[in-house]
Structure 1
Amino acid sequence: MSVEPGRIPAPDRATKQLLWDRMIASKQTVSSYVVMLDGGSLETLDLTAAQAEGFECLTCKSQHTTESGAFRPVGHIPSVGTVFQCLKCAGGAR
């Protein structure tokens, strides 16, 4: 596949995976977040930045990617974003 002069080609799959892995690795610092769960209750949870930003399951930390299966929103952190659980953990304890 040719690329027009002056244009940067899209990264290949391996490069995309490397960039994703680096981004997830940089978000493993644990902090306390006040999470508003879908039922309306507020809970203070110790989460990694990746969990708080919706990249990982709240319970098992599996990554939220197109290959990982379905995730469902379970709440949000004001000024941070929506938090998710994978369907395997959706009925489990936090």
Structure 2
Amino acid sequence: MNEMSVEPGRIPAPDRAAKRRQWDQMISAKQTVSTYAVLLDGGRLETLELTAAQVEGFECLTCKVQCGSGSEAFQPVGRIPSVGSVFQCVACSGGAR
């Protein structure tokens, strides 16, 4: 834990490295692959093998990059019925990847 001054009774916020480790552990726990029927924008229905991280919107539908900024920003590209939206990074949706 970090060595910060904190008011008595308050729990210090985790440092940036600890938050990153927690995020990485959560993403690695969501790498189980299952098959889903995905209704893509435009009405095409496809059966895709996706990780739980992709299904839950943490990773790009195509390249599995995690959501970020710039070319790694996400936009919705379809839905999994009874689950929710699926996303693709700007680079993939623009054909750069």
TM-score normalised to the size of structure 2? 0.82
Pick closer, same or farther for the CA change 1:68–1:90 going to 2, 3 Å.
Answer: closer
8 Å CA contact 1:62–1:68 kept in 2: the answer is no
RMSD: 1.9
Q: Supply the distance in 1 between the matched residues of 2:90 and 2:69 (Cα, whole angstroms).
A: 14
Choose between structure 1 and 2: higher helix proportion.
2
Percent identical: 73
Q: Supply the distance in 2 between the matched residues of 1:62 and 1:69 (Cα, whole angstroms).
A: 7
Pick closer, same or farther for the CA change 1:62–1:2 going to 2, 3 Å.
Answer: same
Identify unmatched segments of 5+ residues in structure 2: none
Aligned length: 92
TM-score normalised to the size of structure 1? 0.84
* Equivalent of 2:87 in 66, 76, 84: 84
Equivalence for 2:8: 5
The one-letter amino acid paired with 1:49 is A
Q: Supply the distance in 2 between the matched residues of 1:44 and 1:57 (Cα, whole angstroms).
A: 16
